[in-house]
Every structure is written in structure tokens, then in C-alpha cells.
Chain A
Amino acid sequence: MPALLTLAWIYFRIGLIFVGGGYVLIPLLNHIMVEQYRWLTLRQFLDGLALSQLTPGPLAMLATFTGFRAGGFLGGLVATVFIFIPCVVLMLIIGRNYHRLKNIDLIRTTLDGLLPAVVGLVAAAAWNLGASSLTGVKEFIILGIGFAVFKWTRVSPMIVILGAGLMGLLIN
């Protein structure tokens, strides 16, 4: 029980720092789990990172893996819940005040003026993912087919993604 409380406190603090931007998560978790508490070796940490990239969901699912190592299934549960509590609470607070804030003229025009930048960031994510995974002609053909399906048909994106995953397993 005290071990679980310690875990909860550690991951809650990580969640608070994490709120400043997701990019600190990996070095921070590495420092705490590998160097400070020595719950994982560096190799195990890197394998866990690979696992969270392979599985669906945010990269922060790394918390489940490291928590599991520290305290089994319950450890993983506590780690996952507590790392996400700060951002969920903050998003709920924002959601609660969003419509009131949007009625203030200056805030609404600022928010709307911001939207092109958000679109730019979405496009940048496509670019970055492409730079690391579009390695050959085959990938570009799959990209083209995917694009056409999403753009001009009403097929559920989930089915397309799962189908592409199965195809990847069969072909490679």
C-alpha cells in the first residue's frame, strides 16, 4: 500500500510537469525510473518506449509499462491514472469556462485568429511522421490509396487503419 501511494505521488508529479508540454516526458521518466529509483534498466526502458509506440494510444502509456514494473497490474493502473489526472482536470476546467470566455469579444477573435497555426501544426505532424516512415515507393502508394479513401469515400477510418495494419503484417 505505501508503495502504491509512492507510485501515485511520483506519477502525479510527472503529470503536473508533463502539462507544460509532452516533450519532457521521455527524459523525465527515464531519469526517475532508471537513474533515481532503478526500477528498470535502460534497456527495459527503451523496450517499453518501443512498446508504447507500437500500441494504440498516446506515448504516455509508457507510464503503464514503468508502473507495471514497479508494482504489477495495480502499479500500472495507479501510474496511468495519476499521470493523467492533472491534464484531465485542467481540460475539464477549460471546458467549463470555454463558452463563457468565448463570449468575450477579444478572446473569441484571438482564438479564431489562432486556428491557421493549429492547422499548420496538424500538417507538420504529417510531415514529421512521413520523414521517418515513408522509405520507399510502396509506402507512397499506400499513402496515396489511404488519402483517396479518406478523402472521397465514407468508409470508417478505423476499418481502414486496422486493415492497413493487417496488410502490413501479411506483406512484411
Chain B
Amino acid sequence: MTLTEIFLTFAKIGITGFGGGMAIVALTERICVREKEWITAEEFLHGLAFGQILGPFSLNVCTFTGHHLRGIRGGIIAAIGFILPSFLLMSLLSWIYFAYHKLPRLQAALMGTNPVIIGLILVVAIDMGRKQIKGPNGILLALAAFGATVFLKLNAAWVLLAAAAWSLGVSVYHRRHT
């Protein structure tokens, strides 16, 4: 795995990463887990869990995957590759905005991409769920996390920390009883 390949792959993800955090994560999963098989599904999800607790998780997942491939340098190159296209585009649009006080009419493009991105996230969630959700315990935990986020509007980082505490409790319980 060359650093150039890491850079180019994450730059491509950066260019097509419309729709915010989880859309980018779903795109990264398709490319790094399914297409290139750079990282296993479990490792990727662990990275996502850490990444969600630590803020901007789309970037964090890229850093994590890059580090997995080529250590510190791989992680930094992946992060730069991912942010660079957005940064250049954003600089250009900021310049246009402050010079001419105009916002580009891109809203219409989002009307096309948003439904497709929801489809992408759904496919990734289903593929992940089939592999990772086993037994009534797993189903309950997945539903609880979903409900806490959608209906109770809880912060994802808190939901994950609570799930981690629960999971730790279950692990300790199983140890004592086997």
C-alpha cells in the first residue's frame, strides 16, 4: 500500500462526501472495507465508535483507516487527502462569497444526492447489521441506540458511552458465570 494510493483514495472520498458525517462514513465503508478490503468490518466499526466519541467522526474514520494501513504517516496522509478537496472548494466559495456576496445555487444538486445517500447509508447499515447483530441482546442494543438518537435526540457520543458501559457490564457478568 503506497502513501500515494492512500492519499488519492481519501481525496476521492473527500470530493464525493456530500451529506455530512454518516454519509461519508458509509462511502468510506464501501470503498475501504468492501471494495479494497483494506480493513475488516469489525475494525472499521471499532474505529467509527472511537471516532464518534472524539468529534468529527468522518475525518476520524479516515485517520483510523489510514493509520491501520501505514501507521502514523498513513493516518496523516489519509486525513490530509480527505480534507484537502473540501478545503480548496470551500476556500474558493468563501472567496466568491466575500467578494461578490453570492451563494452558489447548489441546493438543487442536494435534492438529487440526499435520497441516494440515504439509500447508501441504509445498505451499509443492513450489511453491517447482518454481520454484527446476533441474538436478542444485540437486537435490543441496536434498537435502543437507534431510538435514543432518533426519538430522544441524545448525542451519539453519550449513546455510545452508555452502550460501552452496558457492554462492559455484560462481559464482566459472563466472565463471572463461566
B27 contact set on A, CB distance < 8 A: 157-158, 161
CA distance A166 to B110 in the complex (A): 9
User: How many A residues have CB within 8 A of the partner chain?
Assistant: 90
Closest to A140 in B: B115
CA distance A109 to B175 in the complex (A): 10
User: Provided the pairs A88-B63, A161-B120 are in contact, do residues A118 and B17 lie with their beta carbons within 8 angstroms?
Assistant: no
Docked-complex contact B91 and A73, CB < 8 angstroms:
yes
Docked-complex contact A129 and B117, CB < 8 angstroms:
yes
A69 contact set on B, CB distance < 8 A: 94, 98
User: Provided the pairs A117-B159, A161-B117 are in contact, do residues A95 and B75 lie with their beta carbons within 8 angstroms?
Assistant: yes
CA distance A14 to B93 in the complex (A): 23
Contact string against A for B residues 67-93, beta-carbon threshold 8 Å, 1 for contact and 0 otherwise: 110011001100100110111011101
Set A91, A102, A112: member contacting B60, Cβ < 8 A? A91
B72 contact set on A, CB distance < 8 A: 92, 96
Contact string against A for B residues 45-73, beta-carbon threshold 8 Å, 1 for contact and 0 otherwise: 11111111111111110011001100110
Q: How large is the interface on B (under 10, 10 to 19, 20 to 34, 35 or more residues)?
A: 35 or more
Q: In chain A, residues 59-85, which have Cβ atoms closer than 8 Å to a Cβ of chain B?
A: 59-61, 64-65, 68-69, 73, 76-77, 80, 84
Set B30, B106, B160: member contacting A118, Cβ < 8 A? B160
User: Provided the pairs A110-B171, A117-B160 are in contact, do residues A54 and B21 lie with their beta carbons within 8 angstroms?
Assistant: no
Docked-complex contact B116 and A122, CB < 8 angstroms:
no
Docked-complex contact A119 and B128, CB < 8 angstroms:
yes
B168 at the interface (CB under 8 A from A): yes
Q: Chain B's interface: helix, strand, loop or mixed, by majority?
A: helix
A47 at the interface (CB under 8 A from B): yes
Docked-complex contact A119 and B63, CB < 8 angstroms:
no
Docked-complex contact B150 and A128, CB < 8 angstroms:
yes
B25 contact set on A, CB distance < 8 A: 122
- A-B residue pairs, 6 tightest by C-beta: A168-B112, A57-B86, A120-B145, A146-B119, A113-B167, A125-B22
27 pairs across A/B with beta carbons < 8 Å?
A47-B97, A55-B90, A57-B87, A64-B86, A68-B94, A76-B94, A87-B59, A95-B64, A96-B72, A112-B42, A115-B133, A120-B146, A122-B121, A123-B121, A125-B22, A126-B121, A127-B150, A129-B114, A134-B118, A139-B111, A146-B115, A146-B119, A150-B119, A158-B13, A165-B109, A166-B112, A172-B112
* Chain A residues near B (Cβ < 8 Å): 18-23, 47-48, 50-61, 64-65, 68-69, 73, 76-77, 80, 84, 87-88, 90-92, 94-96, 98, 102, 106, 109-130, 133-134, 139-140, 142-151, 156-158, 160-162, 164-169, 171-172
* Chain B residues near A (Cβ < 8 Å): 12-27, 30-31, 35, 42-43, 45-60, 63-64, 67-68, 71-72, 75-76, 79, 82-83, 85-87, 89-91, 93-95, 97-98, 103-104, 106-126, 128-129, 132-133, 137-139, 141-146, 149-150, 155-160, 163-164, 166-168, 170-172, 174-175
